[in-house]
Amino acid sequence: MEDNGLIKAEDKYPFLTRLRQERPIICDGAMGTMLYSLGVPANTCFDECNLTQPDFVRRVHEAYIKAGAEIIETNTYGANRSKLVAFDLGDKVKKINIRGAKLAREVREVIGQPVFVAGAIGPLGRPIQPVGLISVEEARSIFREQIEALLEGGVDLLILETIGDLEEMRQAILAAREVSDLPVVAQMTFAEDGRTQVGNTPAEVVAALEELGADVIGANCSTGPQRMRGCRPVAPRYCPVSACQMPKPNSSLSSNLALIRNIQSRLSSILW
């Protein structure tokens, strides 16, 4: 019966079928960096560009698809209520997320490449209890609101990323499972000592996220590809067959500015 259930899930969601193929899946890169390179001010709410500058968002999606990405993420990384209120956009959560999903789908249709559209969901931007003031119930509610809007927009999967608190990630996954059975990618971020911001080791993270039912477990952002390699050996020992791995590092910290600018210039040549 379990095998039948797996087959049905893979039939329903092509991304799960693609996961079982023994070939790497290439994701896109940063959205905010590229919007900035197109002239969007750094102090702007990049997520609002879905409403105010949709052509810029389309151009970034198009560039990543043409560069070979199989997964493009919606421009919704910071589009949760907790972050949007800082820009007086708390009442635009639904509109920004739905539009972000539809923009990515529109570009996919125009280009004609069968890429996956992933709903991008970042951290709340404020610590949750017991470190901060946001209760776990409120955190889950905030994540749920964003996820429901992304579902309405028609995403193929969800990517929960750059979250440094395991409890916050737990609430994000629980919110996702409450409203959908879409594939979930869970990516934590790690500090230079190889632990999350609240001290969890990669092994602890993998064990917890697998138990929560994440389809893909990974690390992103963090301190660059070299240090992220220290997390990778954990996967074969602690990550079961049911969950796949996804490393998605920053190019590095700001001290490697020359490398970052080189990467930006290469992508900008595609954009322009």
- Whichever domain contains 182, its CATH number is 3.20.20.330
pLDDT of residue 3 exceeding 60 = no
pLDDT of residue 261 exceeding 50 = no
**Rounded to whole angstroms, how far apart are CA atoms 20 and 10?**
9
Cβ-Cβ contacts under 8 Å for 147 (sequence gap 6 or more): 119, 121, 158, 175, 176, 179, 180
Cβ-Cβ contacts under 8 Å for 69 (sequence gap 6 or more): 26, 27, 28, 115
Contact 149, 98 (CB under 8 A): yes
**Rounded to whole angstroms, how far apart are CA atoms 135 and 194?**
27
Strand partners, 121: 160
What pLDDT is attached to residue 10?
63
Instruction: Judge whether 19 lies within some domain.
Output: no
Instruction: Judge whether 162 lies within some domain.
Output: yes
Nearest 10 degrees: Cα torsion 182, 187, 188, 193: 160
Mean predicted confidence (pLDDT) in 58-79: 97
Cβ-Cβ contacts under 8 Å for 104 (sequence gap 6 or more): 61, 72, 73, 74, 75, 117, 155
Amino acid at site 44: T
pLDDT digits (tens, 9 = 90+) for 169-194: 999 999 999 999 999 999 998 888 88
Instruction: Judge whether 2 lies within some domain.
Output: no
Instruction: Judge whether 131 lies within some domain.
Output: yes
Instruction: Judge whether 6 lies within some domain.
Output: no
What pLDDT is attached to residue 38?
96
What pLDDT is attached to residue 175?
98
Instruction: Judge whether 228 lies within some domain.
Output: yes
What pLDDT is attached to residue 124?
97
Q: How many domains does the chain have?
A: 1
Model confidence at 131, pLDDT cuts 50, 70, 90, reads: confident
| Percent over 90 (pLDDT), the chain | 67
Q: The domain containing residue 254 runs over which residues? A: 25-271
Q: In what order do the strands lie in the sheet with 71-73?
A: 71-73, 116-121, 157-163, 184-188, 216-221, 244-249
Instruction: Judge whether 90 lies within some domain.
Output: yes
Cβ-Cβ contacts under 8 Å for 14 (sequence gap 6 or more): 116, 156
pLDDT of residue 248 exceeding 70 = no
Contact 179, 145 (CB under 8 A): no
Mean predicted confidence (pLDDT) in 23-50: 94
Model confidence at 223, pLDDT cuts 50, 70, 90, reads: low
**Rounded to whole angstroms, how far apart are CA atoms 60 and 31?**
7
Contact 146, 80 (CB under 8 A): yes
Instruction: Judge whether 5 lies within some domain.
Output: no
**Rounded to whole angstroms, how far apart are CA atoms 167 and 186?**
12
